[in-house]
Amino acid sequence: MTSLSLRAVAYSATREFVPLYGLYALLFEDHGLSTAGISSLFVLWSVVAFAAEVPSGAWADTVSRRGLLLGSGALFTAAFTVWLLWPTYWGFAAGFVLWGVSESLKSGTFEALLYDELAAHGGEHRYAAVMGYANAGEMVCVFVATLSAAPLFDFGGYALVGWVSVAITVANTLLVLSLPSAPRKMEADEIDGSGNTLVARYLAALRAGTSEVRTDAVVRRVVVLTAALLAVLAFDEYFGLLAREGGATTEFVPVLVALTVVGQVIGAATAGRTARMSGAVMGAVVVTGAVLLAAGALLGGVTGFAAIGLGYGALHNTAVVAEARLQDTMSGRARATVSSVVGLTSELLSVAVFAGFAVGSAWLPLSVLVAVTVLPLVGAGVAAVRWLPPAHSVDS
C-alpha cells in the first residue's frame, strides 16, 4: 500500500482499538441499567449523531477536514472519561452525547478526505480496496482490544479497562496530524457563486450535497442501500448481552464477541476483490448474511457466534462496496455532505433498531429480537439487485 493508504488505515484502525468496546454494555448493566435502559442510551446516541450528521458534513466541505477529525478525537476521549468519572445513567447519557457528536464529525469527513486525496493522484479506483483495508484494520483492533478486555478486567476491573481505552483514544487523535489536507474537487463557494464568507460557503455546501441526493435518483438509491447495510451493523451493540443471555461468563463474553470480529475482518479486507460485484450478487450476499445472523442468534454459543461472524462479515463487505460505488457515482462537489446523508439515514434506521429492542425486550429474549430484526435485510437484498450502480473503475 502507499504511504497515504497506510496512514489512513492506521488512523481508522486505532480509533477502534478500545478495550471498553467489549464490555460497556455489561458496564451499564452492572451499574443497574436494564436492557430497556441500555437501549434508551443507544437511541440517544443515534439521535445526537444523526442530528449533527449532515450539518457536520457540510462543515467538512467548507473548513479543514483534518481539523474536524481532531475535534472528533477530542470529544471521543471526553466521552469515555465522563463514563469513568460519572458511572450513572445520566453520566452514560452525557458520554453518548459527546460520542454522537464525535462520530458525526468523523462520518463523511474521513471518507471525503481519503477519496479526494486519492483522486488528486489518479488513484480513486483504489478507494474500495483502501477503505476495505481500513475497515479490516478497525476490526483487527476491535478483535485485539476485545480479547484484551478480559485480562484487563481481571486485573483492574472496569476502571483499568476504561483508562487504558482513554489513553488509546488520545494516541489516535494525534494520528490525525499525519493525514493530508486533501484538495476539494470544487470549493463550496464555487457551486453557486454565493461568496467567500464562511457561512455562505457552508450553506452552499449544504444545499449542493442535499440537492444532489434529492434530485439524482441513482445517488439517492445507493445512499439508502448503503445506509441500510451500515445500520444493521448496529446489532453488535447487543452481542455482549446476547452472549451473557446464553450463559457465558463476563470473562468469556469478549471471546464470543471476538468471533464476530473475525468475520468482519475477512469481509472488509476482501472489499477490494469484490468491489465490482453486480447488484444480483450483492443481493444474494445480503440475504445469506441475514439468514446467518438470525440462525446464529438463535443457536448461541460458539457455533452461533461463528455464524454471526460469517453473516456480519458478508454484510460488512457489501457495505464497503456500496459506499465505494456511491463515491464513484456522486458528482463530488460536496462529497462530505452527501456522505453524511448516508450517516444520517443509517442513524435513523439504527434508532428504529434500538427502539425496537427497547420495547421488544419486555416480551422477547434478546436472541429472538435479533433474529426478527434482521428480516428486513431480505428487502435490502432484493433492492440491491436494481439499486446498486454499475462499477465504473478497475481496482488494482
pLDDT in tens, 50-98: 677 656 656 666 767 788 888 999 999 999 999 999 989 999 999 999 9
pLDDT > 90? residue 390: no
Q: Which residues contact 216 (CB under 8 A, 6 or more apart)?
A: 330
The 10s digit of each residue's pLDDT in 138-187 is 878 877 887 788 888 888 888 898 899 999 999 999 988 888 765 454 44
Around Cβ 31, how many Cβ atoms within 10 Å?
Answer: 15
Compute, in degrees rounded to 10, the torsion defined by CA atoms 223, 195, 55, 95.
Answer: 140
- Of the segments 59-68, 114-123, 231-240, 258-267, which one has the largest average pLDDT value? 258-267
Alpha carbons 191 and 52: distance in angstroms, whole number: 23
Which of 114-123, 127-136, 195-204, 280-289 has the weakest average pLDDT? 195-204
CATH number given to 3-387: 1.20.1250.20
How many angstroms separate the CA atoms of 41 and 35, rounded?
10
pLDDT value, residue 90 = 94
Q: Mind listing the pLDDT tens digit for each residue in 279-305? A: 999 999 999 999 999 999 999 889 999
Which residue in 148, 63, 323 sits closest to 219, CA to CA? 323
**What pLDDT shows up at residue 78?**
95
Give the largest CA-CA distance in the chain: 62
Instruction: Give dist(CA 167, CA 379) in Å, integer.
Output: 42
CA distance 125 to 5: 13
pLDDT at 208: 63
Top-confidence residue, 18 or 1? 18
Q: For residue 335, what are the contacts with CB-CB under 8 A and spacing of at least 6?
A: 61, 108, 111, 112, 115, 116, 184, 185, 209, 327
Domain ranges of the chain: 3-387
Which candidate, 300, 326, 285, places its Cα nearest to that of 128?
326
CA distance 283 to 382: 6
Q: Are 261 and 139 in contact (CB under 8 A)?
A: yes
pTM of the complete model: 0.70
What is the mean predicted confidence (pLDDT) over 363-384?
87
What does the DSSP 8-state code read for residue 23? T
Helices (H), the chain: 3-14, 24-30, 35-60, 65-85, 89-106, 109-120, 127-175, 188-192, 198-215, 217-231, 239-245, 253-269, 279-299, 301-329, 335-360, 366-373, 376-387
- The number of angstroms, rounded, from the C-alpha of 308 to the middle of its chain's C-alpha atoms is 17
pLDDT of residue 337: 73
Across the chain, mean pLDDT equals 81
Confidence band of 248 (pLDDT split at 50, 70, 90)? confident
